[in-house]
Amino acid sequence: MEAAVRELAPQLFRYSLGRTRDAGLAEEVAQDALAALVQRWRRHGPPECPAAFAFAVARRRAGRLNFQRRLLKPLHALLDGHSPLPGPEEIATQRTALGRTLTAMRQLPGRDREALLLVGAGELGPTEGARVLGISVSALKMRLHRARKRLLQILEEKQDGKP
Amino acid sequence: MENPDELDLRLREALEPRPETVERIVRGALSPRRPARRFPLVPALPVLVALAVAAGLLVLAPHPRRQAAVSIENVGDLMVVRHQEGGRWLVRNGGLGESPAPSRSLIVIYRNGDKP
């Protein structure tokens, strides 16, 4: 079990970081998903596919966190007096490879981004990825193809200095 | 187009966690007792309560009833016209022909601002 957790931790973190765009939240999501896996393993034995189980939990948790963040964002801005403009830390992050990738990922349609994050970043197989998303393997492959093509296009445009 | 594997590799490299982050995640997941997560809506609670109270007051507060300027009520073959200032007129059907079955209807005219 520990080996599976250790193997899945970076995969889940990469997926969660792509979903939440926040390292702190990504760590929380990955840890929650793995804790759910550990609990399930201890109580009822290993699930049929531990990776699909953990990614399904991470997907739900990341979705909930993103929703809560969107809901509370105006409130935090109001209560904390934060400016809606990006701060120096955020601007510095945007200039890194991570920042550029996250910005490019944001421009992908949600479904395509999700597929790419599960398979590309999270290293799930097409069968497991399709299972987590509740779609067929061929539909997943189609989304992946579209997402990769568009992401590459966006990254190349950015490299050429186009807006 | 770039090889899909190369693109995925670039993606993974960009999103790769630090070793200490991975260690923290693994340790946290395997620990038998995890710290309870704080409730994320706690900061919003006072505002939500205030909004709920305001909405409740808005719904429950008595709305001032507008007084009719003129009301015209029809009871059978009799028409009753009442004015806000107390006047009342009764208009009766002249009795020509057979009267239809008695019916009842009411027309109310409200003042709108200063205009009648």
Chain-chain contact of B21 with A6 (C-beta, under 8 angstroms) = no
CATH number of A2-159: 1.20.140.160
pTM equals 0.63
- pLDDT, average across residues A10-38: 90
pLDDT at A163 over 60: no
The answer to ipTM > 0.85 is no
Q: Which residue has the higher pLDDT, B101 or A68?
A: A68
- pLDDT, average across residues A108-129: 90
What lies within 8 Å, CB to CB, of A132 at 6+ separation is: A52, A55, A56, A59, A118, A124
Contact of A58 with A29, CB cutoff 8 Å: yes
Domain ranges of chain A: 2-159
What is the reported pLDDT for B116? 45
pLDDT digits (tens, 9 = 90+) for B22-65: 999 999 888 876 655 555 666 678 888 999 999 998 888 776 66
Which residues, numbered 64 to 123 in chain A, qualify as contacts with chain B under a Cβ-Cβ cut-off of 8 Å? 65, 68, 71-72, 75-76, 79, 97-98, 100-102, 116, 119-121, 123
Interface of B to A at Cβ within 8 Å reads: 1-2, 4, 7-8, 10-17, 21-22, 24-26, 28-30, 34, 37, 40-41, 43-44, 47
Q: Which of B7, B25, B47 is facing A30, going by the closest CB pair?
A: B25
CA-based nearest residue to A111, from A21, A19, A30, A28: A19
Give the per-residue SS3 of chain B.
Answer: CCCHHHHHHHHHHHHCCCHHHHHHHHHHHHCCCCCCCCCCCHHHHHHHHHHHHHHHHHHHCCCCCCCEEEEEEEECCEEEEEECCCCEEEEECCCCCCCCCCCEEEEEEECECCEC
Domain ranges of chain B: 4-60, 68-110
Q: How confident is the model at residue A61 (pLDDT cuts 50, 70, 90)?
A: very high
Chain-chain contact of B34 with A5 (C-beta, under 8 angstroms) = no
